[in-house]
Amino acid sequence: MKTFCLLCLTGLLATYNANAQQIIGRVTDKSGRGLEGASISLIGTADGATADSTGRFRFGTASHPPYRLTVSYIGYKTTTADASAGSEIKIVMGKDPSTLQPVVISAGAFSAGDKNKGAVMTAMDVVSVAGNGGDVANAARTLPGAQQIGEREGLFVRGGAGSETRQFVDGTLVPSPYFASMPGLPQFNRISSPFLFDGIVFSTGGYSAAYGQGLSGALILETQDLPEKSSAVIGISPMVAVAGVQKLAKNGRSSLGLSTRYMTWHYYAKAVPQNPEYATGPAYSITEANYRQRTGKTGMLKVYANFGYHQAELYREDIDSAALLNRFASTDRNLYLNISHRSRPGKNYRLDLGAALNYNSADISRGMVNRDKTTTHPEGPVFAGKFSEYRSRERSLQGKAVLTRYFEGGHLVLAGAEAQIGEMDELYAGFAEGEWRLHHAVALRTGARWEYSRLSGKGNIAPRVSLAVRTGTYSQINAAYGIYYQQAERRWRMEEPSLPQAKASHYILNYTRKENGRIFRAEGFYKQYDRLLKTYPSTNMSGSGYANGLEMFWRDKKSVPNFDYWISYSYLHTRRDHLDYPLPLQPDFAAPHTLSVVAKRFFEKISTNVNVSWSLAAGRPYYDFTPDHQIRQQGTTRAYNVVNLGFAHMLSLFPKWKQKDFTVIASGINNVLGTRQVFGYDFSYNGQTKSPITLPATRNYFIGIFMSLGIDRTEDYLNDNL
Amino acid sequence: MKKIITLAAALFVLITAHAQSSPLEGAVSQLNAAQTLAAYQELANTFQRQASTDAKSWLPLYYAAVCNMKLAFLQKEKAMALSAIAEEQIVKAEALVPAGNTKDLAEIYTVKSFIERSRVEADPMSNGRKYGPIAGKYLAKARQLDPQNPRALYLDGHIKYHTPALWGGDKDKAKALFSEAMQHFNQPPASTVAPQWGKADCQKML
């Protein structure tokens, strides 16, 4: 009985084992590490197994040899292998390059928005940087490479002047992005609302051959396509009133938008005294209109118009005479029209057409008045330079066409032409560029740009090269080289029509690591100015200079939930001999060390976003030149140290409405600590007195309420803070 | 002796039981108990293998998608790759659902919505705008096809729970949805292989 039972048992086991040919093996990567979770299956059957933590597997099968296995694992190329029962099979899997993030050519550039593969921030990040006033260019100042300049507008990049960083909208250059400059005060950007754009690239050098005329940098903005829904926005604060609508057509193929904004410092200055005295404004009126239309299957037509009006009248103590005041008055009108069309004329082609028209009129008057504001004309060389009447009417027209051809394997070649027609000169440009995926881990961009000015009769060729090499799953090394040209401002070319273009060469080396919401970026650069404008003793292009430095950027939005911060540090060493400098000097807009910290935290329970930005910069040099341009005095200002604080409380005032409103109550204080900021000095005629150029008021306060209906920014806030 | 008989009997039962219950059934019951990454990975592979030999049934592919979607939620850094696999599988499964079978289609759309949601949660800042609305669209479709699907109810609750109040999140509403889902989870599934996962996750929220 016992024997019988045992036989039975053996028999049972035998039948069980009969359909159990054992297949054993191990799956590893090329370095021999076991791939836990790899799926092994026997072709033609449902038999198979999953590799354990050491990569080993074992399974039984009732099928008959020959055995062929297919092995798959996420991120690796699926492989097949022959197997035989009983002997261990070794399977080595190779990485599948197509699952890795593509290499992005990114030396010198910071990008924001959905459209950009290498984006480091979103439009909402830009708008929520404390103290930037919703201005893209101001937000870019918290990134490495940009100087903290508080007394004038513009992005001062890597030892370059503000005018060396140009702004582009949908491919074409914006000739006058800022309202007319005011002495000692920064000016607003005309076209800077971050919500207008869904692609923002801030390049601190080494940018593509498709752009030109920015010696140091470029702020490349791409406007949005059609909005998702119709919407309306209104906002009010003591300084600003805003109203706008955006209507999406029923068929979803076109949209029309209109918005207008009025800003004045007039009332604010009455509550918080400002120095200089704000007699009129500064006041601004900005009206924008846009029309977007899908054309055909692939086309997108965008028309954007911006009309800006600005008026200011300021009085400041005169440095040479205690009894007198300097008067500055300006009126500025600007019409900007941008038309662009994008289409795909063939499967592998993309055609971008753009045209822009700009009309600018500026009337600027400088003079002297008595304490009672009556006009006076004191005689003598001391006051001679304090009077001027400047009237300018400037029209410009641009056209640009770019054709891109995409090739198998991710390569692309583009070629384009551009014409910029100004009041007295025309600039023609042609460019070609190729992007080559040499290997799944190597991308190379090679391009050249040719520019010709009719007035000077001179042509230039600017080669540009940028390379990206992936060094790990999340890291890459980038390098770039390029030559950049920029024409002198019109008034200098009127004086000296044959002026060649200013010229700079950029050399950039960059390491970027992006992983799970954290970004680390280090970039070293060398910039050589081969030609810079000199205005004394004569107007020519014999100036020169150089800049080199090292920049770091760290952003982390993962470590602490609802908390996001970034830190930028820039080291800059630069000398230049330009304008009326008697010798190569560190320019007065270049601080050797700049540190910016931006931190944002969303408090979900109270629906409030708190933003802090802190900027610290080493002192900048200042110079006092004698009338014959010799250095009479020089020194270094105190360090710049500013903390800005911003709050945005989000609520819905009328939650019962069909179109629920989304309301933001925003408030902020700039320079919370009340630190005294000195940007430089004004010197008296005899050099015996100096007066600091500083903020118009120690602190600046802001409060406003903005309500939007229909589509709102909820998604943006939500996604930023979820 | 007795021991041997018992052993033999047990073995016999085991083998016959093994023969009777389909491999799919076994895997589905394992899925009900799965908690760890390794368990979901193993099941994802198992279901995929079953799908490779059964070209007509939507369920193995559906379950493979469910497992990969679960893995995407559990491993944010691999979520995009995993959700791509899950999406491929669920699309294939959808094509195999018999026409007019709204309940099964509701299961498909629920998983589609879960997949999009896993993409949102992988990186809300970069993905929320893109995938959030798609997740919402699929969920609405699933809810419309079968208002009583407990997994769709649970996902609805999950989204409401994790969204701040200002933007339509509502923890009370979420709780109500979880308990409603729980009632339907407590009904026995239509068959041993019919979709029945998610009960444990839902229970945790109550």
- Convert the pLDDT of each residue in B114-127 to its tens digit: 999 999 888 776 67
Nearest CA distance, B177 vs chain A (angstrom): 21
A636 touches chain B (CB under 8 A): no
Inter-chain CB proximity B77 and A15 less than 8 Å: no
Q: Mean per-residue pLDDT for A624-650?
A: 90
Q: Residue A76's domain is classified under what CATH number? A: 2.60.40.1120
Domain parsing of chain B, residue ranges: 23-204
Query: Does residue A358 register a pLDDT over 50?
Result: yes
- How many CA atoms, within 13 angstroms, populate the side-chain half-sphere of residue A154? 22
pTM: 0.79
| Mutation target among A50, A71, A128, A608 for the B interface, most CBs of B within 10 A | A50
Predicted pLDDT at A501:
94
Inter-chain CB proximity A718 and B128 less than 8 Å: yes
The A residues from 648 to 667 touching B (CB cutoff 8 Å) are 650-652
In this structure, what token pair is assigned to residue B124? Answer: 């809300």
A522 and A586: one domain?
Answer: yes
Q: Provide the percentage of residues in chain A whose pLDDT is more than 90.
A: 45
A370 and A504: one domain?
Answer: yes
Q: Mean per-residue pLDDT for A709-717?
A: 53
Q: Mean per-residue pLDDT for A675-693?
A: 89
Task: Identify the three-state secondary structure at position A270.
Answer: helix
Predicted pLDDT at A541:
93
- CA-wise closest residue to A648 among A134, A122, A120, A119: A134
In this structure, what token pair is assigned to residue B190? Answer: 């239509």
Chain B hits for A13, CB-CB cut-off 8 Å, are 11
Q: Give burial (CB, 10 Å; 0-12/13-18/19+) of A528.
A: middle
Mind listing the pLDDT tens digit for each residue in A205-245?
Answer: 999 999 999 999 999 888 888 887 788 888 898 888 988 88
R_g over Cα of chain A: 31
A95 and A119: one domain?
Answer: no
Q: Mean per-residue pLDDT for B9-24?
A: 57
CA A538/CA A393 separation, integer angstroms: 26
β-bridge mates for residue A308, sequence order: A286, A334
Query: Does residue A7 register a pLDDT over 60?
Result: no
Nearest CA distance, A340 vs chain B (angstrom): 25
User: A52: domain range?
Assistant: 19-99
Residue that terminates a domain, selected from A51, A68, A99: A99
A180 and A254: one domain?
Answer: yes
B24 touches chain A (CB under 8 A): no
Inter-chain CB proximity A36 and B38 less than 8 Å: yes
Chain B hits for A716, CB-CB cut-off 8 Å, are 129
Inter-chain CB proximity A53 and B38 less than 8 Å: yes
Inter-chain CB proximity B11 and A718 less than 8 Å: no
The A residues from 25 to 54 touching B (CB cutoff 8 Å) are 36-37, 39-41, 44-50, 52-53
Chain A hits for B126, CB-CB cut-off 8 Å, are 114, 119, 122
A86 and A113: one domain?
Answer: no
Task: Name every residue whose Cβ is closer than 8 Å to that of residue A435 and which is 6 or more positions away in sequence.
Answer: A105, A410, A411, A412, A413, A443, A444, A445
B196 touches chain A (CB under 8 A): no
Q: Mean per-residue pLDDT for A384-405?
A: 92
Mind listing the pLDDT tens digit for each residue in A258-270?
Answer: 999 999 998 888 8
Mind listing the pLDDT tens digit for each residue in B71-109?
Answer: 999 988 788 889 999 999 999 999 999 888 899 999 999
- The answer to whether A661 touches A707, Cβ cutoff 8 Å, is yes
Residue A9 lies in a domain: no
Give the Å distances, CA to CA, from A176 to A126, A283, A512: 22, 18, 33
Inter-chain CB proximity B166 and A652 less than 8 Å: yes
Chain A hits for B54, CB-CB cut-off 8 Å, are 46
Q: Give burial (CB, 10 Å; 0-12/13-18/19+) of A180.
A: buried
Inter-chain CB proximity B81 and A75 less than 8 Å: yes
Task: Identify the three-state secondary structure at position A192.
Answer: coil
Q: Which band of pLDDT confidence, cut at 50, 70 and 90, is reported for residue A718?
A: very low
Question: Tokens 């040209």 correspond to what residue?
Answer: A485
Option in A99, A604, A716 nearest B81 (CB): A99
Option in A52, A122, A650 nearest B166 (CB): A650
Residue that terminates a domain, selected from A99, A117, A147: A99
Q: Which band of pLDDT confidence, cut at 50, 70 and 90, is reported for residue A117?
A: low
Nearest CA distance, A217 vs chain B (angstrom): 26
Query: Does residue B203 register a pLDDT over 70?
Result: yes
Predicted pLDDT at A605:
78
Inter-chain CB proximity B1 and A13 less than 8 Å: no
What is the 3-class SS of A101-147, one letter each residue? CCCCCCCCEEEECCCCCCCCECHHHHHCCCCCCCCHHHHHCCCCCEC
A229 and A368: one domain?
Answer: yes
Mind listing the pLDDT tens digit for each residue in B147-159?
Answer: 999 999 999 999 8
Q: Give burial (CB, 10 Å; 0-12/13-18/19+) of B107.
A: buried
Mind listing the pLDDT tens digit for each residue in A328-357?
Answer: 999 999 999 999 999 999 889 999 999 999
Q: Which residue of A has its CA nearest to B9?
A: A9
Chain B hits for A44, CB-CB cut-off 8 Å, are 53
The A residues from 58 to 77 touching B (CB cutoff 8 Å) are 74-75
Option in B12, B127, B130 nearest A12 (CB): B12
CA A197/CA A121 separation, integer angstroms: 13
A76 and A141: one domain?
Answer: no
A86 and A133: one domain?
Answer: no
Please tell me which residue, A273 or B18, carries the higher pLDDT value. Answer: A273
Check whether domain B23-204 has CATH 3.40.50.300, yes or no: no
Option in B76, B124, B130 nearest A722 (CB): B124
Option in B15, B37, B124 nearest A16 (CB): B15
Q: Which band of pLDDT confidence, cut at 50, 70 and 90, is reported for residue B17?
A: very low
Inter-chain CB proximity A41 and B52 less than 8 Å: yes
8-state DSSP, A526:
E
A181 and A317: one domain?
Answer: yes
Residue that terminates a domain, selected from A99, A124, A151: A99
Predicted pLDDT at A716:
45
Q: Residue A415: what are its φ and ψ, rounded to 5°? A: -145, 145
Mind listing the pLDDT tens digit for each residue in A65-83?
Answer: 888 999 999 888 899 988 8
Please tell me which residue, A125 or A504, carries the higher pLDDT value. Answer: A504
Option in A12, A74, A715 nearest B128 (CB): A715
A401 and A300: one domain?
Answer: yes
Q: Considering only A594-603, B2-11, B20-29, B98-107, which range has the smallest mean pLDDT?
A: B2-11
| Mutation target among B3, B11, B48, B49 for the A interface, most CBs of A within 10 A | B49
User: In the predicted model, what is the mean pLDDT of chain A?
Assistant: 87
A13 touches chain B (CB under 8 A): yes
Give me the amino acid identity at A626.
Answer: T
Q: Considering only A287-296, A590-599, A693-702, which range has the smallest mean pLDDT?
A: A693-702
A380 and A295: one domain?
Answer: yes
What is the 3-class SS of chain B, one letter each residue? CHHHHHHHHHHHHHHHHHHHCCHHHHHHHHHHHCCCHHHHHHHHHHHHHHHHHCCCCCHHHHHHHHHHHHHHHHCHHHHHHHHHHHHHHHHHHHHHCCCCCHHHHHHHHHHHHHHHHHHHHHCHHHHHHHHHHHHHHHHHHHHHHCCCCHHHHHHHHHHHHHCCHHHCCCHHHHHHHHHHHHHHHCCCCCCCCCCCCCHHHHHHCC
A124 and A159: one domain?
Answer: yes
B41 touches chain A (CB under 8 A): yes
Predicted pLDDT at A375:
86
CA B28/CA B24 separation, integer angstroms: 6
Our measurement of the distance from residue A2's CA atom to the centroid of its chain's CA atoms, rounded to an integer in Å, reads 85
Query: Does residue A714 register a pLDDT over 70?
Result: no
B125 touches chain A (CB under 8 A): yes
In this structure, what token pair is assigned to residue A425? Answer: 């000169």
A14 touches chain B (CB under 8 A): no
Residue A661 lies in a domain: yes
Query: Does residue B68 register a pLDDT over 60?
Result: yes
Query: Does residue B9 register a pLDDT over 70?
Result: no
B76 touches chain A (CB under 8 A): yes
B49 touches chain A (CB under 8 A): yes
Nearest CA distance, B8 vs chain A (angstrom): 5
Task: Name every residue whose Cβ is closer than 8 Å to that of residue A164 and which is 6 or more positions away in sequence.
Answer: A157, A214, A215, A216, A217, A486
Option in B50, B120, B124 nearest A46 (CB): B50
Task: Name every residue whose Cβ is closer than 8 Å to that of residue A518 and which is 6 or more positions away in sequence.
Answer: A554, A555, A556, A557, A558, A559
Option in B49, B85, B163 nearest A41 (CB): B49
Predicted pLDDT at A288:
92
CB pairs under 8 A between A and B: 112
Chain A hits for B23, CB-CB cut-off 8 Å, are 46
Please tell me which residue, A9 or B201, carries the higher pLDDT value. Answer: B201
Chain B hits for A19, CB-CB cut-off 8 Å, are none
Chain B hits for A3, CB-CB cut-off 8 Å, are none
Task: Count structural domains, chain A.
Answer: 2
Mind listing the pLDDT tens digit for each residue in A562-584?
Answer: 788 999 999 999 999 999 999 99
Inter-chain CB proximity A13 and B11 less than 8 Å: yes
Mind listing the pLDDT tens digit for each residue in A24-64?
Answer: 999 999 888 999 999 999 888 888 899 998 999 998 888 88
A22 touches chain B (CB under 8 A): no
Inter-chain CB proximity A517 and B77 less than 8 Å: no
- How many CA atoms, within 13 angstroms, populate the side-chain half-sphere of residue A72? 15
Chain B hits for A719, CB-CB cut-off 8 Å, are 124-125, 127-129, 132
Q: Which residue of A has its CA nearest to B23?
A: A46
Predicted pLDDT at A6:
53
Inter-chain CB proximity A45 and B53 less than 8 Å: yes
The set of long-range contacts for B99-103, using a CB threshold of 8 Å and a minimum separation of 24, is: B102/B145, B102/B146, B103/B145, B103/B146, B103/B149, B103/B190
